[in-house]
Structure formats: structure tokens, C-alpha cells
Amino acid sequence: MAERNILITGGAGFIGSHVVRLFVHKYPAYRIVNLDKLTYAGNPANLADVEGRPNYTFVKGDICDMDAVRDLLSRYDINGIVHLAAESHVDRSITDPLAFARTNVMGTLSLLEAAREQWGGCYDGKLFQHISTDEVYGALGPDDAPFSETTAYDPHSPYSASKASSDHFVRAYRDTFGMPAIVTNCSNNYGPCQFPEKLIPLCINNILHRRPIPVYGKGDNVRDWLYVEDHARAIDAVFHRGRPGESYNIGGGCERKNIDIVRRITEIVDRLTGKPSGTSLDLIAYVTDRKGHDLRYAIDSAKLAHELGWRPEVALDEGLEMTVRWYLDNRAWIDDITSGEYMKYYDSMYGGR
Ligand code: NAD
Ligand code: TYD
């Protein structure tokens, strides 16, 4: 196996932490460097079990800081990049779009530019893998076919516009400078360690505290759900066996209306906490719809299935059950976040932000 020194950005976040864990365990001969700014969404507790592994290094830093990124690429002789660092929440992008342009657009561009300089046009054995979203394709109507890799980009939110822009920059570096790059566009993830601003963990947390569960609009919007470890396995498959220059869609093939997801979670939480069925249904609160709320996302991952043999392994019911159990077994994780305690933990470990 070739020597691999891999930079994973955003590894302290939700999906990144699962990718770091998979790579650290599966490839003991690789050096895995995790660069993360530790924004509100980054939590070192997500990787407590990986800290101290000989093939793992954590670096606190900002992808927008080109000097620091240059130094890191050279110091660790990085030859592969899996780029996940981003501002990731649509609602925040509506209140603070500039933060999304800064990190998702300028940050990705800084990383590309630093990699181009470091690799000096010698791209043998190098790869830049950019982790993106299905939201770049816009919104589907109820009867439209799922997004494929050839669907035209049509982003609607500041979040998806910033991700679309970063995808275009990655392809521009491929086409202009010959950088070996792959873009993956994935559907909605769920699972352990997801920040409780996103629908599923928010719903679980609010049920546990008997707080209202805000359902935007009529709850009719449809998302295609994928268990986070299936996404990590897809990223691994694409990193090692994907064709440089290509894009791959990754999806759960599992479309559900938001209201159906919310109802299902109330059922699971009620059952696992010993409450009579239906106890938490009264918490559902229909609230003003999100601005520009995309009606439906659905992903066609046939290319990934045919070329690389990847398929989701975790069915939605099983994944939701595992997710709820994880949040019940890790109440301290979510309580630390909602109380702000986790910030004190990493301020003391990593010297503030
Ligand atoms: P997340 O918000 O949980 O984590 C993002 C991580 O990036 C955090 O650890 C944060 O500290 C770090 N970060 C943010 N700005 C940074 C900067 N300037 N420099 C260095 N690190 C920085 O996000 P997530 O849900 O794990 O998403 C990870 C990636 O996957 C994102 O690129 C997102 O667009 C993409 N994606 C997410 C989903 C999903 O359902 N969550 C679906 C498809 C694609
Ligand atoms: P979210 O988890 O924010 O992911 P995304 O916006 O990237 O799809 O939201 C998933 C769906 O749930 C989306 O249609 C918006 C909706 N939603 C609610 O109805 N209530 C909420 O409180 C949140 C956070 C989301």
C-alpha cells in the first residue's frame, strides 16, 4: 500500500468524525491529520476514542488561513485531502450568509490553492476529495426523477449556493490545473454526534425535555435520509477507488416527509423511555416555513453502486433506532452542548477559539 498522509478537514464535526474514525481504524499505516477550527459545530468529544492513536493527529486551525494550511500540507507531506469543513446549517445561512461564503467558498479555494502550491504540478498519487451536498441541485417536484450526476446545478439557499460555488472551484482546479479531484454530493445524513440544530437530533432532544418540536410549514417537505456511517463508507470507497475527475452522488434511496420522520422519532423515543405510545405527539408544533424551503431532495446513486459496489447498509428504521439509542445513552453529550459546557472543555484543551 502506498504511503498515505491524509488531511481530513472538519473532522471534529458530525460526518467528519465518522470519516476520521473509519480511516484511523481501517488504515493503521496511514497518517490521518484532522484540521478543524472547532466552530460551534466542532466537538473534540466526538473523537475522544481516537485521540492518542499513533496514526492520528489533531490540528486546530482555519481552512481560510492559507499560511497555516501551507505549513500543515508541507509538514505532514499530505498527498490526499478529504475536505468536509464547512458551515453546514441552512437556517444559519439565512441569518448569516457571509459566514457561508467565507468558509465554504473562500476556505475551499484557499485549500485548493495551498494544495496546488504544495503539489507543484506533480499530481501523481495525489487526490482532492470534496464532500458536498445534494442541495446544489435545487428542489424536485413530487414526480421528478431523483438527482443524478448530470442534473444541472440550481441552488436556492445561501448554504447550497456556497456549496455549489465550492464544487465549481474544485472542478475549475481539475480543468485548469489538472488537479486530480473528486466531488461527492450526498443526501441528508443522520446518526450519532449530529449537532442538535438539525431536524432529527433536535426532535430527539426536544422530546426528552418535553419541548415543542418545530415542524416547518406543513411538514410535507421530503428528504432522502442516509445513515452517517454509510456516508463514511461511501467516502472511503470513492477516495480509494473512485475515478479522479468524476463526481459521485451518494444517497439513502430513502425518501420521507419531515412529518413522518418526526412522528417515527416520537414513537421510538416514547417506546425506549417507557412512555405509552403517542405520549409525545402533542409536542409537534407547526411553525412558519423556512424561507425558500426546497420541497424535495432525492438522490440517484446508481453510478456509485455500479462502479464501486457501494450500497447503504443501514435501513432507515434500524438507523433511527440506533440514533435514538445513542442520544439516550449519551445524554451528557447533548446536555453539554445545550448548556455550553462543551465549549469550556475544548477551550481548556485547545486554548479558546
Ligand atoms: P458539521 O457542521 O457538523 O461540521 C463541520 C465541521 O467543520 C465542524 O467540526 C467545524 O468546526 C468545522 N469547520 C467549520 N468551519 C471551519 C473552518 N473555517 N476551518 C476548519 N474547520 C471548520 O457539518 P457536517 O454535517 O458534518 O457536514 C460535513 C460536510 O458534509 C459539509 O461540507 C457539508 O456541506 C457536507 N454534507 C453534509 C450533509 C448532512 O446531512 N449533514 C449532507 C451532505 C453533505
Ligand atoms: P435540516 O436537518 O436542517 O437539514 P436540511 O435543511 O439540510 O435538509 O432539515 C431537514 C428538514 O427538516 C428540512 O426540510 C427542514 C425541516 N426542519 C423542520 O421542519 N424543523 C426544524 O426545526 C428543522 C431544523 C428542520
Query: Model confidence over 219-252: pLDDT tens digits?
Result: 999 999 999 999 999 999 999 999 999 999 999 9
Strands lying side by side in the sheet with 247-250: 56-60, 31-36, 5-9, 80-83, 127-133, 181-186, 247-250
Largest CA distance in the chain: 64
H helical segments located in the chain: 14-26, 66-75, 90-95, 97-100, 108-119, 158-177, 199-208, 228-241, 258-272, 302-308, 316-329, 331-339, 341-350
The predicted model gives 89-100 an average pLDDT of 97
- Distance (Å) from CA 67 to ligand 1 centroid: 21
Looking at ligand 1, which residue's alpha carbon is closest to its atom 14?
86
Name the active-site residue from 135, 167, 230, 300. Answer: 135
CA–centroid distance, 347 to ligand 2, in Å, is 29
Tell me whether residue 345 is one of the annotated catalytic residues.
Answer: no
Neighbours of 184 (CB within 10 A): 26
Share of the chain above pLDDT 90, in %: 93
Distance CA 171, CA 264 (A): 39
- Eight-state DSSP code of residue 106: I
Residue nearest to atom 22 of ligand 2 (CA): 214
- As for ligand 1, residues whose beta carbon falls within 6 Å of it are 9-10, 12-16, 35-39, 41-42, 62-64, 84-86, 88, 103, 107, 131-133, 163, 186, 188-189, 195
Please name the residue ranges forming H helices in 86-157.
90-95, 97-100, 108-119
Binning pLDDT at 50, 70 and 90, where does residue 21 land? Answer: very high
With a 6 Å cutoff on the Cβ, whether 188 touches ligand 2 is yes
144 noted as active-site residue: no
Q: Is the pTM of this model over 0.95?
A: yes
Alpha-carbon distance of 93 to 288, in angstroms, equals 17
> Ligand 1, atom 29: nearest CA belongs to which residue?
84
Ligand nearest to the CA of 86: 1
Residue 80's H or E segment, with its range, is strand 80-83
User: What residues have CB less than 8 Å from 298, skipping those under 6 apart?
Assistant: 134, 140, 146, 147, 187, 222, 224, 251, 255
313 is an active site residue: no
Alpha-carbon distance values, 72 to 34, 108, 216, 329 (Å): 10, 15, 42, 37
Distance (Å, whole) CA 191 – CA 327 = 9
State the virtual CA torsion across 104, 110, 115, 117 in degrees, nearest 10.
160
197 CA closest ligand 2 atom index: 24
Select from 18, 81, 88, 193 the residue to mutate for testing ligand 1; criterion: most ligand atoms less than 8 Å from CB.
88
Question: pLDDT tens for residues 117-156?
Answer: 999 999 999 999 999 999 999 999 999 999 999 999 999 9
Of ligand 2's listed atoms, the one at least distance from the Cα of 216 is: 19
Per-residue pLDDT at 349 exceeds 80: no
With bands split at pLDDT 50, 70 and 90, how would you rate the model's confidence at 27?
Answer: very high
- Between CA 153 and CA 136 the distance in angstroms is 6
Q: Is the CB of 60 under 6 A from ligand 2?
A: no
Ligand nearest the Cα atom of residue 223: 2
Which pLDDT value is given to residue 1?
Answer: 45
Task: Answer for the pair 245, 181: CB distance below 8 angstroms, yes or no.
Answer: yes
Tell me the residue type at 132. Answer: S
